[in-house]
Amino acid sequence: MASLPPIDLPSSATGAGAFDSPALEEGPALFEYLLRLGDDSLILGQRLGEWCGHAPSVEVDLSLANIALDLIGQATHFLGRAGEIEGKGRDGDALAFRRDVLDYRNCWLVEQPNGDFGRTMARQFLFSTWQKLLLRKLTGSADELIASVAGKAVKEVTYHQELAAEWVIRLGDGTEESRRRIGDGLAWNWRFVPELFEMDDLATFMAERGIGADLAALRPDYDALVSAVLAEATLEPPPDQRPILGGRRGHHSEHLGHLLAVMQFLPRTYPDAKW
C-alpha cells in the first residue's frame, strides 16, 4: 500500500491557545480523549443500528445489530467516565444526547452514511482493524478505566474485525457486482483512514503520559493487516487521496448533524423522559 505524506497541520490549528486547541491540562485533556474514544463508538453504533431490519439477510442483520451493541457499550463506559472527569454533572447520556455537532470528537469515517452493504462493510473493516490495534495498545493505559474497558472490548472488536474482513474477502472475490460494490465502498471510505492515525497535540499529550496510544506507531501493522485482506479479496488498494481531517476538533461532514437529529430526537423532545 502506498504511504501517504505526513500530516502537516497549519500552525494556527495547533498553537496553544488557538480556538481549536486550547492549552492542555491533564483533566480537560483526558475528558477530550475519552470523548474521542466514546464518540467513535457511539456514532458507528448508531450508524450500524440504521441497518436493523434492513440488512440483506437475518444473519447479517443480527451481526450488525450486535456489533452496534458492543460499540454502544464501549461508548457508555467512555462517555460515563468523561462526564465524571469533567465534573459538571453531565453523565454519559447527557454527553450522548445533549451535545451538538461541533462538540463531537469522532473521526469522519464513522459518521459516513451506510451506503450499500459493500460500503458499510468496507467502513467496518477499515475501522475495526484500526480499533483492534488501538484497544490492544490501550489495555496498557495508565488510566484504569480505559485499560479495563479496552481489555474487555478488544475481544469483541477482534470478532468485529474478523467478520468484516471475511465479508471484504467474500465480496471482493465474489461476483462481478459484489466485487464492484466492495471496491466502491473501499474507495469511498479510503480518504478517511489517515485521520485515524493523526497525532495532534492532544493525542501526543495523552500518549506521552501513557494514557493514550501513539497512533502513528500503529500504522505499519494496520497497513499490513489491510493489505493481506485486500490481497485475499483479490482487490487492489484504492489510490490514496487527500486526507480529510478535523473530526477530533469538532469539524464534521454534514452527515453527522443528520445522524444526531435522529439519535437525539427523543431525549431532546421529552427531556428526562423515563420508561
Q: Residue 43 or 101: which CB sits closer to another protein?
A: 43
* Longest CA span, the chain: 54
Per DSSP, 268 falls in state H
Instruction: Look at residue 185 and give its three-state secondary structure.
Output: helix
Q: Is 73 near another protein (CB under 8 A)?
A: yes
CB of 152 to another protein, least distance (A): 4
CB of 34 to another protein, least distance (A): 15
The C-alpha angle with vertex 20 and arms to 19 and 22, in degrees rounded to 5, equals 70
- x/- binding map, residues 98-137, to another protein, per CB under 8 A? ----------------------------------------
CA–CA dist 122, 145 (Å, integer): 30
Q: Shortest gap between Cβ of 76 and another protein (angstroms)?
A: 8
Contacts of 1 (CB under 8 A, 6+ apart): 223, 226, 227, 237
Residues 138-167 close enough to bind another protein by CB under 8 A: 144-145, 147-149, 151-153, 155-156, 159, 162-163, 166
Nearer to another protein, 161 or 189 (CB): 161
C-alpha distances in Å from residue 89, one per residue of 98, 149, 250:
13, 22, 22
Q: Which candidate, 255, 237, 253, places its Cα nearest to that of 245?
A: 253
Which H/E stretch holds residue 119? Answer: helix 117-138
Give the whole-angstrom CA distance, residue 9 versus residue 195.
12
76 binds another protein (CB under 8 A): yes
Indicate which single residue of 33, 37, 42, 77 sits in contact with another protein (rule: CB under 8 A). Answer: 77
Verify binding: residue 187, another protein, rule CB under 8 A.
Answer: no
Closest approach of Cβ 160 to another protein, in Å? Answer: 10
| Of 150 and 203, CB closest to another protein | 150
Q: Is 178 in the site for another protein (CB under 8 A)?
A: no
Q: Are 260 and 43 in contact, with CB atoms under 8 Å apart?
A: no
**What binding mask, one character per residue, do residues 51-70 give for another protein by CB under 8 A, x or -?**
--------x--xx--xxxxx
Residues of this chain that interact with another protein (CB under 8 A) are: 45, 59, 62-63, 66-74, 76-77, 144-145, 147-149, 151-153, 155-156, 159, 162-163, 166
